[in-house]
Amino acid sequence: MNETLAQGLLQAVRAQGFGQTADGWCGGAPVERFPSLDLALVSFAGTRAPVWANVLFSREFEQGIVAGIDARAGAVHDIRFDADQRSAELDSTPWLPGADWSRMAWRAIVERPQARRRFVAPYPASLLKLLVAVGVGLAVDRGRCDWPAALEPMLVASDNDATTALVALLRRLDLVHALNTRLAELGLHTLQLNGTTVHGGWRNADGAGVSQIHMTAWDTARLLWLLDAQASAPPWLPAGTALLQPASCAHLLAVLARQQRDEVLSSGSLRGTPGWVGGLPDAPHFAHKTGSTANYCSDAGIVRSDGRHYIVALLSNLGERYAPHERCATTWRMPALGAAIHRLVGSLQ
């Protein structure tokens, strides 16, 4: 963990005033409790060694905390990530107005008995489609199928029907468990695609979705590190360890670079919307996947622009209910944070 980068990320988040975000479910009043944000970044600067940091904010850590990560970029070791929750009525209970976290029965995504702090990991929303895409890559590498046509609409337009088709493909090939196992073998224990059905169901109503499918920012950033051929070798793994074959990594990143939903950390898809705020460089300079629902928004990808090369991943509970306009996926504070991150990376070079 790089202290300069960590402190810069803390300041970048604090400067956006997320605690004043208007909540559409509460008549536009500021958020009842400070929102949850899980933000990770890895910066690659020429021949210099990469630097990284993961910061987290929530109602329990309004000023933010820095996750403990060792010098080999291993897993976060001092925070227990608790799984998101949903009710029998399929509501995302931790984010409902008036939700009392002290009365909820929490379950750790991965047990860390020595962790002194916990963070409730927001559901990744459509960012989970990155996991599905990696699973398809495993199928291609193992000679089980060719690249399916549904991959591009799933990643580029976030098409849900395409996602269902690809989850069904992975279930048919018996590769969902293999995907979870491979991610765990690579140390990415908080990336889990659980609860899917044989017919491709992956949402709440299918018994999957919230409380079953998990991602955290740091493990998502490390997943992207494994896909990035221009990045230095991942130091937490033995030399030569790979997630996918080089051609498959290149194919997935090429599709992500055609992203059409620049609407969270980047905002090019929203140009012309009243109050527009610029953010990270748009695709193709930002090869990424977003996710958004009423209660969640997320964004993760690889930026190559303005002489900078870095990976950024963000998960939060600031979904569409906090959006200032019907075209928006979240508050304008998100692209403003993206712009601040881009400046921060530039200042470190």
Domains parsed from the chain with CATH numbers: 3-348 (3.40.710.10)
| Bridge partners, residue 38, by sequence | 56, 315
Mean pLDDT of the chain: 96
Residue 174 Ramachandran class (φ > 0 left, ψ -120 to 50 alpha, else beta): left
pLDDT on residue 112? 85
pLDDT on residue 236? 97
pTM of the model: 0.97
Residue 349 pLDDT grade (very low, low, confident, very high; cuts 50, 70, 90): confident
d(CA 95, CA 295): 7
Residue (of 193, 187, 189) closest to 175 by Cα position: 193
pLDDT on residue 234? 95
pLDDT on residue 327? 95
**% of the chain at pLDDT higher than 70:** 99
Residue 90 pLDDT grade (very low, low, confident, very high; cuts 50, 70, 90): confident
pLDDT on residue 56? 98
d(CA 33, CA 31): 5
Pairing mode, if any, of strands 117-120 and 79-82?
A: parallel
Is 31 strand, coil or helix?
coil
Residue 70 pLDDT grade (very low, low, confident, very high; cuts 50, 70, 90): very high
**Alpha-helix residue ranges (DSSP H) falling in the chain:** 3-14, 129-141, 151-156, 160-172, 176-185, 217-227, 246-256, 333-348
pLDDT of residue 242 exceeding 70: yes
Residue (of 118, 125, 55) closest to 92 by Cα position: 125
Mean pLDDT of 11-26: 97
Give the residue carrying structure tokens 């460089």. 281
pLDDT on residue 105? 92
Mean pLDDT of 110-138: 95
pLDDT on residue 113? 81
pLDDT on residue 72? 96
d(CA 203, CA 165): 13
pLDDT of residue 332 exceeding 90: yes
Mean pLDDT of 268-280: 97
d(CA 16, CA 36): 14
d(CA 81, CA 120): 6
Residue 47 pLDDT grade (very low, low, confident, very high; cuts 50, 70, 90): low
pLDDT on residue 91? 87
DSSP states along 166-183: HHHHHHHTT-HHHHHHHH
pLDDT on residue 216? 98
Residue 167 pLDDT grade (very low, low, confident, very high; cuts 50, 70, 90): very high
**% of the chain at pLDDT higher than 90:** 94
**Token reading at 247:** 């051609």
Residue 348 pLDDT grade (very low, low, confident, very high; cuts 50, 70, 90): confident
pLDDT of residue 224 exceeding 80: yes
